[in-house]
Amino acid sequence: LTPKRIDGLLTSGRCISHESLAAQSARAMATCMAISHAAGAAAALASSKNLPPRKVSVSDIQRLLLDQEAELRL
């Protein structure tokens, strides 16, 4: 969700980059909502920790999403 060359930015929804094999499932509405939820959680954590989004721990994002009752496959 973090662009390679731009700090401080997260992408979500259909504008994310993915391999062609994942294209169909990544464009489904439920997947778009889940990706957007993760981006929002990452943005909130980055803001609260005063970090750029790419420096936020994935495990912290996962923990927050689980606290918010998101369905994750870990």
Whether residue 69 has pLDDT greater than 90: yes
What pLDDT is recorded for position 16? 67
Confidence class for position 3, pLDDT limits 50, 70, 90: confident
What pLDDT is recorded for position 18? 66
What pLDDT is recorded for position 23? 62
Q: Rounded to 10 degrees, what is the CA torsion of 51, 55, 60, 66?
A: 100
What are 11-55's pLDDT values in tens digits?
Answer: 887 666 666 666 666 666 777 788 899 999 999 999 999 999 999
Q: HEC profile for the chain?
A: CCCCCCCCCCCCHHHCCCCHHHHHHHCCHHHHHHHHHHHHHHHHHHHHHCCCHHHCCHHHHHHHHHHCCCCCCC
